[in-house]
Amino acid sequence: MSKTAVRDDRTSRKLFDVKLLLGTAAVVALLGVSIFTGEYSIFSAEDGAQMFANTRIPRTVALILSGAAMAMSGLVMQLLTQNKFVEPSTTGTTEWAGLGLLVVLFFAPNSSILVKMVGAVVFSFVGAMIFFAFLRKVSLRSSLIVPIVGIMLGAVVSSVSTFFALQTNLLQNLGVWFAGSFTSVMVGQYEVLWLVLGVVVAVFFYADRLTVAGLGEEIATNVGLNYQRLLLIGTALIAISTGVVTVVVGSLPFLGLIVPNIVSMIRGDDLRSNLPWVCLTGIAVVTVCDLIARTIISPFEMPVSVVLGIVGALVFIAMIVRQRKNVR
């Protein structure tokens, strides 16, 4: 016990430094820009304050929670698979969440957001487990094979969703939900997002164990870690954040991929001290993308998933190219 205390003391000193403070300040400033960007003239209108409370604050909170949660689940997934290229949207987990949502909507179209969320979370859990089970059977674990398997799995699931939606006349609704967009985030619609705060806290709590798990099952088991249980917990965390974010916002592609990689490129691979940075960067990336999405064709909005998709695809390609160079 005393040993842990000493180690915690060491990392916590490293956790809070001037840089992190500056980073936090920058992100807070960015969120300030976000909170004052919008179509309604909140200062001149009589009900400005009301509108501010009804749409601006929820939207900004949603940006914080979904950005941090997706970045974290990307990180957890990368540790559990020991692969830098995976995250919920390159492993099919997002597609599973969408299928879950669709199933709930087919059987109970008027169900509350909580029920929809449970459906999405259950399906993404199953989906993530299938992906991990699949990985165990694949002997070729090269860094590119894993995301390719994941993307293929996602494509299969999403074609099942499309077929199902086609047969049940839900195709357009599927498109609407999947286009990750903060347009409809407002009081009464986003509250379940607070659940992902629990995920963020849990990732901090399990940080050290996840780092060890990132060294592989054998090493982790050797140092006395219950690898299977950790895998289950990690998957549950990923499923919760993916499910909740998919239901409230839609898909935020590549976010979990870009953020942990940028952070580890700059800071190296010390998970515990990286965690706050992953959170901050996740929030910053999603906020910038949302700002672009809502101002570029104002008063209309572009789905934030489009902006993220473009940015994310570029980073993804850059990473592959970079990795190739390193290999040579």
Partner 1 sequence: MKSRLTLSVVAASLMLAMAGCSGAAENASDTASSAADSVSSAASEATSKTVTIEDNYGTHEVSTSPQAVVTTDNRSFEILESWGIKLVAAPKPLIPVTIEGYKNDENIVDIGNHREPNLEALAAANPDLIINGQRFTSFYQDIKTLNPDATILEFEPRDGEKLDAELKRHTLALGEIFGKQDEAQKLVDNFDAALKRAQDAYDSEKTVMGVNVSGGEIGYVAPGKGRFFGPIFDLVRLTPALEIENASDDHQGDDISVEAIAEANPDWLLVLDRDAAVSKDAAPAKTVLEENAALKNVTALKDSKVVYAPSDTYTNENIITYTEVLNSMADAFENAK
Read off the tokens for 124.
């993404």
**Segment 106-125, which members bind partner 1 (CB under 8 A)?**
109-110
Q: Is residue 221 at the binding interface for partner 1, with CB under 8 A as the rule?
A: no
Q: Which residue, 4 or 172, has its beta carbon nearer to partner 1? A: 172
**Segment 240-299, which members bind partner 1 (CB under 8 A)?**
294, 297-299
Residue partners of 323: CB distance under 8 A and separation at least 6: 143
Minimum separation from the CB atom of position 172 to partner 1 (A):
6
Q: Is residue 172 at the binding interface for partner 1, with CB under 8 A as the rule?
A: yes
User: Residues 24, 82, 143, 173: which binds partner 1 (CB under 8 A)?
Assistant: 173
User: Residues 160, 211, 301, 310: which binds partner 1 (CB under 8 A)?
Assistant: 301
Query: Which has the closest alpha carbon to 179: 73, 252, 262, 90?
Result: 252
Mask: binding to partner 1, 50-89, rule CB under 8 A, as x and -? xx--xx----------------------------------
Is the previous residue joined to 299 through a cis bond, with omega within 30 degrees of 0? Answer: yes
CA–CA separation, 104 vs 260, rounded Å? 32
Minimum separation from the CB atom of position 159 to partner 1 (A):
11
Q: Is residue 302 at the binding interface for partner 1, with CB under 8 A as the rule?
A: yes
| Residue type (1 letter), 198 | G
300-305 contact pairs (CB < 8 A, 24+): 301/181, 301/183, 303/179, 303/180, 303/181, 303/250, 304/180, 304/181, 304/182, 304/249, 304/250, 304/252, 305/178, 305/179, 305/180, 305/181, 305/250, 305/251, 305/252, 305/253
User: Residues 33, 176, 197, 314: which binds partner 1 (CB under 8 A)?
Assistant: 176
User: Residues 25, 33, 144, 187: which binds partner 1 (CB under 8 A)?
Assistant: 187
| Residue 246 burial (CB count, 10 A) | 32
Size of the site for partner 1 (CB under 8 A): 39
Minimum separation from the CB atom of position 254 to partner 1 (A):
20
CA–CA separation, 281 vs 71, rounded Å? 8
User: Residues 12, 159, 184, 228: which binds partner 1 (CB under 8 A)?
Assistant: 184
| Residue 157 burial (CB count, 10 A) | 21
Q: Is residue 29 at the binding interface for partner 1, with CB under 8 A as the rule?
A: no
Helix axes of 57-81 and 113-137: crossing angle, nearest 10 degrees: 20
User: Residues 3, 137, 325, 328: which binds partner 1 (CB under 8 A)?
Assistant: 137
What is the DSSP secondary-structure string of 110-121?
Answer: T--HHHHHHHHH
Binding site for partner 1 (CB under 8 A): 38-41, 45, 47, 50-51, 54-55, 109-110, 137-139, 166, 168-173, 176-177, 179, 181, 183-184, 186-188, 294, 297-303
